[in-house]
Amino acid sequence: MSADWGSFFNSSGNRSSTDEPNIVAGDDDTEPDQGNVLSHIISQLRPGADLSRVVLPTFILEPRSMLERITNFMAHPETLLPMPTVDDPLERFVSVVKFYLSGWHIKPPGVKKPLNPILGETFTGYWKYPDGTYGYYIAEQTSHHPPKSSYFFMAPEHNIRIDGTLIPRSKFLGNSAGSMMEGIAILRFMNRGSNKEKGERYILTQPNMYARNILIGKMKYELGDHSYVRCPENNLVADIEFKTKGYFSGTYNQIGGTIKNSETNEVYYELSGLWNQEMYITDVKTHKKELLFDATKAKPTPPSVRPIEQQGERESQRLWQSTVKGILDRNHDVATDEKTKIEDRQREEAAKRTSEGVEWHPRLFRRVQGGPGGPDEGEEDLDWIINAQINPHDPQLAAKQILSIAPILEGQSESSQFQIPPHKREHEDAPSDQNGAGPSADQAPPSGGEPLEEVQRKDTRTSDVDTFVDAKS
């Protein structure tokens, strides 16, 4: 690549939704208040309890939504953008593993949990790269029980697309709390692979996350267990173990793993190091050990986001604005009150849907239509995928199509907002989605068979693309 990605991103001044830094490599400090978690939650906990039912004190909350936190995954464009340009399949796979490992060190000080998105909450953002191209990100909370955060990323000029759904399942484990990070992401290189519409696919899973010593001792954040990077087209797999510290031995934040051929089981590389410091890759034939990624010298690039005043009421930063201010001001009474208002509103909306006999469905994502011959065959574990047609081989058109899905760039504004998110009455027949796929159980016209009302976008960037259709509330 002609652009000096590393020097550019290490000097970038982009910031995310808050002014509080969230970049911590090797920092395990806890905040003074965190020792009081015990008195706040012990009465609510039983072994095996579902933490989604437990009210957590706001002083252990990260001042951003999970929908925004997922952008950590794309916050090192210097590892992201070069990947599709690597011609050798094995070395290209190594570059994917490097990208995958590069985001885990991004976290606020102490042990923090992101805000749980409410149903229908959305977040969008973008990156402007040094060559004038863009990366676009769209996310929506597509389910509340269980919580599912679905997201889409694309850098059209760089032939990169990512689709994912994150399904955290939280459990109380005695003196620890664990978030079992289910769900997958599919990274695609649209200039590679035999299927030009699907591209060369890499299936990614996530390690689990643990908060240690939540009742007794100094709280500590750990990543744990095995995660995988798989490329079915090239028969390559990386088995990466995030190692948790033993009671008497071991080291925090260690990783280990292998890169091998999934058909022959031949091991090509071994992985080692610390996910918040230096990570290494060793060629098993030559025994040559090289630095893969140094988190201590890496500076993430968070996405740019439209100003609060241009955001809709269910967009993350506007939705949680008062709660986040309370967290940053360490005014936990205000943060708790504002958070409770949002959660109460969500319960009221659910009760209203129940009383009216309607079923909610997402605005921006549709259910994956897998199975033999389905348009999303082999991608069933995504659950949800962006509900739009995007031409991967025409970057200019792709950018317009992406910008027509939801407002992303400054100057775009939300077309409409509803007190209760789009929904349908139960047992209605579903129409085809806007991709032209078959009926989906989660998509239906408004009650009474009324036609969907067209909602016109006003911004000139997308005026020549698709017409918008929103369900009536």
Give Cβ neighbours of residue 173 (< 8 Å, ≥ 6 apart).
47, 210
Q: How confident is the model at residue 446 (pLDDT cuts 50, 70, 90)?
A: very low
What is the percent of the chain with per-residue pLDDT over 70, rounded to a whole number? 76
- pLDDT tens, position by position, 204-220: 999 999 988 877 778 88
Question: Taking residues 15-32, what's their average pLDDT?
Answer: 47
Per-residue confidence (pLDDT) for residue 40, from 0 to 100 = 62
Tell which residue, 70, 74, 150, has the closest CA to residue 382.
Answer: 150
Each residue's pLDDT tens digit, 88-124? 999 999 999 999 999 999 988 888 889 999 999 999 9
Question: What mean pLDDT is reported for the chain?
Answer: 82
Percent of the chain with pLDDT over 90: 62
Which token pair is 44?
Answer: 């609510």
Band the pLDDT of 191: cuts 50, 70, 90: very high
Residue 254: what pLDDT?
96
Instruction: Calculate the dihedral angle through the C-alpha atoms of 53, 56, 61, 63, rounding to the nearest 10 degrees.
Output: 70
Higher-confidence residue of 303 and 458: namely 303
> Which of 202-206, 221-225, 408-412, 417-421 has the weakest average pLDDT?
417-421
Look at residues 219, 181, 193 and name the one whose alpha carbon lies nearest to residue 56. 219
Q: What is the dihedral sign for C-alpha 452, 136, 71, 114? A: negative
Least confident of 18-32, 126-140, 164-178, 188-202: 18-32
Report the range of poorest mean pLDDT among 78-87, 225-234, 327-336. 327-336
* CA–CA dist 330, 344 (Å, integer): 22
Higher pLDDT, 319 or 109: 319
Q: Mapped to the 3 state alphabet, what secondary structure does the chain carry?
A: CCCCHHHHHHCCCCCCCCCCCCCCCCCCCCCHHHHHHHHHHHHHCCCCCEHHHCCCCHHHEEEEEHHHHHHHHHCCHHHHCCHHHCCCHHHHHHHHHHHHHCCCCCCCCCCCEEECCCCCCEEEEEEECCCCCEEEEEEEEEECCCCEEEEEEEEHHHCEEEEEEEEEEEEECCCEEEEEEEEEEEEEECCCCCCCCCCEEEEECCCEEEEECCCCCCCEEEEEEEEEEEEHHHCEEEEEEEECCCCCCCCCCEEEEEEEECCCCCEEEEEEEECCCEEEEEECCCCCEEEEEEHHHCCCCCCECCCHHHCCCCEHHHHCHHHHHHHHCCCHHHHHHHHHHHHHHHHHHHHHHHHHCEEECCCCEEECCCCCCCCCCCCHHHCEEECCCCCCCCHHHHHHHHHCCCCCCCCCCCCCCCCCCCEEECCCCCCECCCCCCECCCCCCCHHHCCCEEECCCCHHHCCCCCEEECCC
How confident is the model over 116-172, as pLDDT tens digits? 999 999 999 999 999 999 999 999 999 998 999 999 999 999 999 999 999 999 888
d(CA 291, CA 22) in angstroms, rounded, equals: 24
pLDDT band at 460 (very low <50, low <70, confident <90, very high): very low
pLDDT in tens, 337-392: 999 999 999 999 999 999 999 999 999 999 999 889 898 998 999 999 999 999 99
Residue 16 has pLDDT above 90, yes or no: no
Answer whether residue 419 shows pLDDT above 50: no
| The one-letter amino acid at 285 | K
